[in-house]
Amino acid sequence: MGHTVEPGLYRLGCPTPDSDVFVSANYTLSFDALRSALAGRDVYILVLDTKGINVWCAAGKGTFGTEELVRRIGITGLAGIVRHRRLILPQLSAPGVSWPDVVRGSGFLVEYGPVRAHDLPEYLAAHKATPAMRRVEFPLRDRVVLIPVELVQALPFMLVPVAALGFLVSWFIAAELVLAVFAGTVLFPILLPMLPTKDFSTKGLILGVLVMIPPAILGAGAFAPFQLAAAAATLLIFTPVTAYLALNFTGSTPFTSRTGVKKEIFRYIPVMAAMLSSGAILAVLAGALHLLGVI
């Protein structure tokens, strides 16, 4: 949580009482993107206390919201610094801000700027956004750039299980876990628009099955005559790993909602847990019967 800016009112250049006031989150990257786009202009930047969370996520969580905006206007004494009564907010803050309540609570009008900060110079020429400025895109480049973040988050939780499986059970099975994690953190962001269904969890389950079928068949050969049970166990154990990581990716996308993610969690986490536990039981039984030579 070190990527934060102290909440408050900042001057960019030499603003006057008639200069524009922009509102941002106190997440460093959000603040830096805004001030970079406004370089060379004399403006004010009002930074809200969003707990170090970016604009869109903070709006969904309520920290970039009406109450904090009205409160910050009062704390900074903004009404006594500028003569006008207009604030320019990022478009993606709209889910958390009720402009009528802001007007009633502070006397300031809310104007929503474009989605991306780099469109601000063009927007400010007429204070009007084009349809392209209002549209949220999530192309391949934006998805791929998130892959290292997903890998870094997953790595600490993967090292111990992989080592334990490798030394205690089989390095082939350990490699299957690595493949499942790779599918959820690397392949899923790349293939996201191409995977069927709407829910991220079911997208992840589909991807997990497709990726794990070859190693499941290959690894099951060592469990004769219980190859079918061993293959099923592999799918049941490792497919939920990919699906869980896919569900986790909802926090990195611009087209999920807080309520939708909650529904997915309550609907699919029990399914993933059931698959994982039943797969583990089946794997133990298949392994034990194989070692005992039961036919």
Cα-based angle 116, 122, 127 (whole degrees, multiple of 5): 95
| CA 85/CA 83 separation, integer angstroms | 7
Domains of the chain in sequence order: 8-134 (3.40.50.11600), 140-292 (no CATH)
Say if CB 67 and CB 6 are below 8 A apart. Answer: no
| CA 98/CA 276 separation, integer angstroms | 43
134 residue type, one letter: R
Strands 86-89 and 43-47: unpaired
Q: Which residues pair with 22 in a beta bridge?
A: 45, 88
Those residues with Cβ within 8 angstroms of residue 231's Cβ, 6 or more apart along the chain or in another chain: 216, 217, 219, 220
- Report in angstroms the alpha-carbon separations of 189 from 126, 220, 244, 248, 249: 37, 29, 13, 11, 8
Cα-based angle 146, 95, 194 (whole degrees, multiple of 5): 40
| CA 124/CA 40 separation, integer angstroms | 13
Q: Classify each residue of 30-57 as buried b or exposed e, where b means 16 or more C-beta atoms within 10 Å of its C-beta.
A: bbebbbebbeebebbbbbbbbbbbbbbb
User: In the prediction, which pLDDT does 294 show?
Assistant: 60
| CA 102/CA 105 separation, integer angstroms | 5
What tokens does 160 get?
């111990």
| CA 144/CA 137 separation, integer angstroms | 14
Q: Classify each residue of 214-248 as buried b or exposed e, where b means 16 or more C-beta atoms within 10 Å of its C-beta.
A: ebbeebbeebeebbebbbbbbbbbbbbbbbbbbbb
User: In the prediction, which pLDDT does 1 show?
Assistant: 56
Is the Cα torsion angle 251, 259, 256, 129 positive or negative in sign?
Answer: negative
pLDDT means per 10 residues, the chain with 295 residues, are 88 97 96 96 97 90 94 97 97 94 96 95 93 92 93 89 91 95 96 94 97 93 82 95 94 79 94 96 84 65
User: In the prediction, which pLDDT does 176 show?
Assistant: 95
User: In the prediction, which pLDDT does 191 show?
Assistant: 97
User: In the prediction, which pLDDT does 24 show?
Assistant: 97
User: In the prediction, which pLDDT does 256 show?
Assistant: 78
pTM value > 0.85 = no
